[in-house]
DNA sequence: CGCACCGTTGATTAAACTCAACCTATGTGG
DNA sequence: CCACATAGGTTGAGTTTAATCAACGGTGCG
């Protein structure tokens, strides 16, 4: 962990990304700024693993994180990605349980750690903040429920189309129209719950059908309407 | 909606089931008792449907409810069951969104409705209560994440074994050892995300293998260890 | 250079879905 | 009271989807 960098200020970060902390009073935000501790974490590092006890939550100032579970025979299931402005680890902290997911850094990150006690201090002092966190949890819960229904009912082809649309919405596209996240074929497979080979085959099908363009790990969506149609979302 | 019955008292219900309200002060519990409105709802009735605006949450005093989403081509995906002491609908209320699930009464129920405003009143007055609700949401979120991993990675056989164990844990067994919930084969299929016929075939396989006994819709688990082994949970 | 990781393609296999038929119990209306 | 409709349960056959297995090429790195 490297400390030779400019620690982000909570006030600034909160403005840039609209975090869960935006209902804090200026004094509370200042408190948060004092108690947090920031670190730079390099791509490829594992932040924590399923089963670890974690001492607090992480607020992301920079980078992209992969949150995943390890299922049958070590196969990874990606639960979500986290990006600047988002917090991870709150589920375990709130329930006082070991982490139920592992977290890996996909892109060099700046993370701020907030101790459980400090988090609870804020939660008890400011009910609005609690409601804010509750809203985040409920949003994730809704997404999880949607995803359960998708995996249970849709074909791999439908799910891949849907995930491509999600990734575009979540990470946006660059000047060339490529989605701003680099995932291996295996990672794509581990989001939608299929085999790597199936993803490869479907991607090249999509490509020959003129729906997408591929540049290594970067994907460009060409025919959004057809992709939407395939994905079966309304 | 029938009003000719003894409305449950929040104090009593809270003792019997340890609800999310157990961190309320006696005064707040009395407040809750005054603002809630109770109804008897018969088996088979639909409480609300996906897309409906709901005006508050429901606390279950009696009965069993099925919470489900409607997926591709109208196929139902069961998200969870709710039983006495639990609350439903909070996700939509907290996020100010229409319901993302439908709810059907599986067994005659007594439900208490709490308005959004009254809920928010309590949330703002008592931060501990907010944390309590947050804990429920986080617990459900953890379960949902587990379930995503299961559906994505396990076979139908494994999932059926797992669900049977879950149902036993959640609803318990009667004097004869039968699990205390009656589900159609189709409903079982709609939990694990498979076809009705597959459930039927697997149940009769389990039966011939001596793992379970069947009495209509009631199921008795005989060889717990083997079922656990099949389910792949540790 | 040689190893490790990733991506790709083909062939084969297995799991599970779909379709169809039929049975039973239950309830309804004439 | 019977005839019929409905819903749920079961079984078999055939088909489809996607997983698995295997081989191979490219790339980057110590």
DSSP string over A213-233: EEETTEEEE--HHHHHHHHT-
Residues A95 and A204 in one domain: no
Residues A214 and A115 in one domain: no
Residues A58 and A81 in one domain: yes
In a domain, A5, yes or no: no
Q: Is B81 at the interface with chain A, CB within 8 A?
A: no
* A residues 38-57 lying closer than 8 A (beta carbon) to B: none
In a domain, A3, yes or no: no
CA of B197 to C1' of D14 (A): 15
Structure tokens belonging to residue B47: 């409480």
Report chain B residues whose CB lies below 8 A from the CB of A141: 91, 137, 140-141, 144
Structure tokens belonging to residue A135: 């809203």
Residues A66 and A176 in one domain: no
In a domain, B126, yes or no: yes
pLDDT in tens, A116-126: 999 999 999 99
* B residues 142-181 lying closer than 8 A (beta carbon) to A: 142, 144-154, 158
Residues A67 and A172 in one domain: no
User: By the 8 A CB rule, do B190 and B68 touch?
Assistant: yes
Q: What sections of B18-97 are H helices per DSSP?
A: 26-35, 90-95
Q: Of A71-80, A128-137, B127-136, where does mean pLDDT reach its minimum?
A: A71-80
User: By the 8 A CB rule, do B221 and B179 touch?
Assistant: yes
The residue range of the domain holding A179 is 154-231
Task: State mean pLDDT over B161-180.
Answer: 96
Check which CATH number belongs to the domain holding B127 and give it: 2.60.120.10
| Chain A residue whose CA is closest to B130 | A130
pLDDT at residue A72, as a whole number: 81
| Chain B residue whose CA is closest to A146 | B69
In a domain, A33, yes or no: yes
pLDDT tier for residue B73 given thresholds of 50, 70 and 90: confident
Residues A74 and A91 in one domain: yes
Q: Is B28 at the interface with chain A, CB within 8 A?
A: no
Which nucleotide is closest to A75, CA to C1'?
D19
**Is residue B9 scored above 90 in pLDDT?**
yes
Q: Write down the mean pLDDT value for chain B.
A: 94
| Chain A residue whose CA is closest to B94 | A135
CA distance B94 to chain A (A): 6
Protein residue closest to D19, using CA and C1'? A195
CA of B204 to C1' of C18 (A): 20
Cβ of B95 within 8 Å of Cβ of A142? The answer is yes
Which nucleotide is closest to B182, CA to C1'?
D8
Task: State mean pLDDT over B6-34.
Answer: 93
Cβ of B137 within 8 Å of Cβ of A139? The answer is no
Protein residue closest to C5, using CA and C1'? A184
The domain boundary residue, chosen from B150, B169, B198: B150
Nearest to A232 by CA among A153, A143, A173: A153
pLDDT at residue B2, as a whole number: 46
In a domain, A1, yes or no: no
Cβ of B137 within 8 Å of Cβ of A138? The answer is yes
The domain boundary residue, chosen from B135, B150, B165: B150
Task: State mean pLDDT over A168-177.
Answer: 94
CA distance B85 to B60: 6
Residues B26 and B139 in one domain: yes
In a domain, B17, yes or no: yes
User: By the 8 A CB rule, do A10 and A32 touch?
Assistant: yes
User: By the 8 A CB rule, do A92 and A99 touch?
Assistant: yes
pLDDT tier for residue B1 given thresholds of 50, 70 and 90: very low
CA of B197 to C1' of C21 (A): 14
CA distance A19 to A13: 8
Interface test with A, best of B127, B143, B198 (most A CBs within 10 A): B127
Residues B18 and B112 in one domain: yes
pLDDT at residue A71, as a whole number: 85
In a domain, B144, yes or no: yes
Check which CATH number belongs to the domain holding A206 and give it: 1.10.10.10
Which nucleotide is closest to B202, CA to C1'?
C16
Residues B28 and B123 in one domain: yes
Residues B88 and B113 in one domain: yes
Residues B61 and B135 in one domain: yes
pLDDT tier for residue A1 given thresholds of 50, 70 and 90: very low
Structure tokens belonging to residue A83: 């990006």
Cβ of A148 within 8 Å of Cβ of B123? The answer is no
Which nucleotide is closest to B155, CA to C1'?
C15
**Which helix (DSSP H) or strand (DSSP E) does residue B53 occupy?**
none
The domain boundary residue, chosen from A150, A169, A190: A150
CA of B14 to C1' of D11 (A): 48
Tally of domains within chain A: 2
Cβ-Cβ contacts under 8 Å for B81 (sequence gap 6 or more): B64, B65, B66, B67, B106, B170, B171, B181
In a domain, A2, yes or no: no
């Amino acid at each position: 962990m490297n400390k030779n960098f400019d620690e982000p200020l909570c006030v600034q970060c909160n403005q840039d990304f609209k975090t869960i902390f935006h209902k804090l009073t200026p004094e509370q935000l200042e408190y948060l700024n004092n108690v947090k501790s920031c670190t730079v974490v390099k791509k490829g590092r594992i932040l924590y693993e399923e089963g670890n006890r974690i001492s607090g939550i992480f607020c992301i100032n920079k980078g992209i994180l992969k949150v995943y579970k390890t299922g049958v025979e070590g196969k990874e299931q990606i639960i979500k990605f986290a990006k600047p402005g988002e917090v991870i680890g709150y589920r375990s902290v709130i329930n006082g349980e070991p982490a139920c997911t592992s977290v890996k850094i996909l892109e060099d990150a700046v993370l701020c750690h907030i101790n459980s006690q400090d988090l609870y201090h804020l939660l008890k002092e400011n009910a609005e903040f609690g409601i804010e966190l509750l809203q985040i949890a409920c949003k994730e819960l809704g997404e999880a429920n949607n995803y359960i229904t998708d995996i249970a009912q849709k074909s791999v082809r439908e799910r891949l189309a849907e995930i491509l649309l999600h990734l575009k919405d979540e990470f946006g596209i660059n000047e060339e129209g490529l989605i701003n996240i680099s995932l291996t074929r295996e990672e794509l497979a581990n989001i939608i719950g299929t085999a790597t080979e199936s993803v490869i085959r479907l991607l090249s099908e999509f490509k020959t059908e003129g729906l997408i363009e591929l540049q290594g790990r970067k994907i460009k969506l060409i025919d959004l309407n057809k992709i939407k149609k395939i994905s079966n979302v309304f």
